[in-house]
Amino acid sequence: MNDSHYCPNTPAEIGEMLAVIGAASVEELFAPIPAELRAKAFNLPAGMSEFETFSAMQAIAAENSPGMVNFIGGGFYDHVIPAAVDHLSGRAEFYTAYTPYQPECSQGTLQALFEYQTAICRLTGLDVSNASLYDGATACAEAAMMALRVTGRRRIVVDGCVSPFSRQVLKTYLYNLDVEVVEVAPLDGLLNRVELATVLDDSVAAVLVQNPNFFGCVDDFTPLAEQVHAVGALLVASVYPISLGLLKTPGEMGVDIAVGDGQSLGNPLSFGGPSFGFIAAKKAYIRNMPGRIIGETVDKQGRRGYVLTLQAREQHIKRHKATSNICSNQGLCALRGLIFLSAVGREGLVEMARLNRDKAEYAKAQLAAIPGVTVLQSAPTFNEFTIFLPKPADALVAGLLKEGIAVGVPLGEYYDGSANALVVTVTEKRTKKEIDQLVKALEVALCS
C-alpha cells in the first residue's frame, strides 16, 4: 500500500478503496456520465517501449495521404519555409519563453517582438502593430471590437466575400453584445458596392473587407476607404501577407485597421494550427488595440532596451476600458513569422509573390481549357481563383483525394447556389508537373 505505483487489482482492494471515498460500487463512480458517452471497451494494446511506440506512430503517420499534392487554400497555405525558421525558433531561449513581464530578464523576447511589430508595420504600410494575436479569424473580430470602441457605434458591415470562417468567429465574438452585424452578399465574387451604399450610414462603426477575398479576387479599396470615412466609419481589411509582395498595401489604400493570418509566414500547415494573427492600425487608434505593444527605450546609462509599453488589460486599467488580454498567445508562431520575413527579405517576398501569381495564372489557363469548366473572370487574382464545374464540386474533390490530389475548397457549403464552384490555390511549391497532373485528373473525373 506504500508503493507509489500501487494500483488496486483484487475485489477486496477495490472494495477497500471504494469504502474510503464513500462509493458503493465502481458503477456509481461513473453514474454522472450518460451511458451513451461511456467507452464500452478501451481495447488498449500491450505496453511498448519508447522506440516501439515512436516507430508505430511513424507508420500510422505515413498512411496519411502519402504524396498528396495540395491545391487547398482558403486561409491556410502550403508555402516554402526556409530552414533558418525551424533552426532559430527552436532555440531554447525562444522555444520556452513566457510572457515578458520582467524586462530585466526578458530583453531577447522583447526585442524579437519589437522587431516583429516593425516587420508587420512595414508589410502593411500602417503605423502601429501589437505583439500578435491568436489567428486571422479572431484578428478580424478584434478589429471590429476596436472599431466599436473608437466610434462608439453599434453596427458592423461585413462583405460576404470575407472568409466564412472569419465571419463565423466575428458573430460569435459579438453574439452577446448589443451590436448588429450586417452582411453584404457577394456579386460575381466581389463586394457589391451598390448594396453596400444602401446600408452604409452614420450608425456604422466599420466595414470589413478582405483582399484577396475568399473567391480569390483582388480589389482596390482606395475609393471604398473614402466612402467609408465620409460617414465617420473605419475600414478594416483582412489581407494575405504573401500577396503584399505585389499588391497595394492596406496603408496605401487608406485602410484604418489591417489584419490577417500569419500561417503563410513560416508556419507549417500542421492540420490547421497553431498559427498567429497580426493586426496593424493607424497610430490614432493605438490605445484601442488588444493585447500588448512592445516599445524601445533607454536605461539610466542610456543603453537601448525594450519594455511592455502598452497593455490595456483589466489588471492595469479600469475593467470597462480593458481590451482583450492576449499575452503569451502565439508568440512563438509570431517569432517564426519574423524570422521568415527576415530570411526572405523584401526582394524575396516580391519574387515569392510573383511565383504564386504566375503559377496560378498557368493553372487557371489550363483548367479553363477543359470542356465544361469556366473560370470566374470578374477581377484579377493572386494565387487563388474560382472555377465552375459541370458537376458538384464536393464529389469531385472526394474522388480526386483518392488519387492523391487535394484539388481545392468547394463553395457549396458556404454560399447558396455554389455547389459546382471550387476555389483552387497554387503556391510557389506547386510544379508545372503537379499542375498538369491536376488538370488531367480533373478532366478524366469530369468525363467519367
Whether 201 is in a domain gets the answer yes
Whether 288 is in a domain gets the answer yes
Whether 389 is in a domain gets the answer yes
Rg (CA), the chain: 26
Whether 247 is in a domain gets the answer yes
pLDDT at 9: 66
350 and 216 within one domain: no
Q: Which domain holds residue 193?
A: 83-341
pLDDT at 2: 47
Q: In this structure, are strands 277-281 and 257-261 parallel, antiparallel, or unpaired? A: antiparallel
pLDDT at 317: 65
Percent of the chain with pLDDT over 70: 94
137 and 224 within one domain: yes
pLDDT at 319: 64
Phi-psi bin for 249: left (phi > 0), alpha (psi -120 to 50), beta? beta
* pLDDT tens readout for residues 329-357: 588 999 999 999 999 999 999 999 999 99
Residue with the three cell numbers 460575381: 188
* pLDDT tens readout for residues 279-330: 999 999 999 999 889 999 998 999 999 998 887 665 566 666 767 767 665 8
Q: If we measure between CA atoms, which residue out of 406, 424, 356, 434 comes closest to residue 79?
A: 356
Q: What is the mean pLDDT of the chain?
A: 91
398 and 322 within one domain: no
259 and 206 within one domain: yes
pLDDT at 420: 98
102 and 73 within one domain: no
Residue 298 burial (CB count, 10 A): 9
* pLDDT tens readout for residues 45-70: 888 888 888 898 888 887 765 678 99
Distance between CA atoms of residues 86 and 83, nearest Å = 6
pLDDT at 162: 98
220 and 202 within one domain: yes
| 82-111 b/e (C-beta count within 10 Å ≥ 16 → b) | eeebeebbeeeebeebeebeebeebeebbb
Distance between CA atoms of residues 299 and 94, nearest Å = 24
278 and 190 within one domain: yes
* Domain termination residue (choose one: 313, 341, 369): 341
236 and 93 within one domain: yes
Whether 2 is in a domain gets the answer no
Read out DSSP for 182-251?
EEE--BTTB--HHHHHHH-STTEEEEEEEES-TT-B----HHHHHHHHHTT-EEEEEE-GGGGGTSPPHH
Residue with the three cell numbers 471497451: 41
226 and 106 within one domain: yes
Distance between CA atoms of residues 407 and 441, nearest Å = 10
Whether 360 is in a domain gets the answer yes
Q: Is 398 helix (H, G, I), strand (E, B) or coil?
A: helix
Q: Is 11 helix (H, G, I), strand (E, B) or coil?
A: helix
Distance between CA atoms of residues 394 and 432, nearest Å = 25
Task: Report how many domains make up the chain.
Answer: 3
Whether 6 is in a domain gets the answer no
pLDDT at 14: 86
Q: Which of 40-54, 86-100, 208-222 has the highest mean pLDDT?
A: 208-222
DSSP letter, residue 45: P
92 and 31 within one domain: no
Q: What is the pTM of this model?
A: 0.85
- Residue 433's pLDDT band, with cuts at 50, 70 and 90, is very high
Q: If we measure between CA atoms, which residue out of 254, 209, 202 comes closest to residue 231?
A: 202
* CATH number assigned to the domain comprising residue 389: 3.90.1150.10
* CATH number assigned to the domain comprising residue 147: 3.40.640.10
296 and 252 within one domain: yes
Whether 5 is in a domain gets the answer no
**The three grid cell numbers given for residue 339, joined into one nine-digit string:** 524570422
258 and 238 within one domain: yes
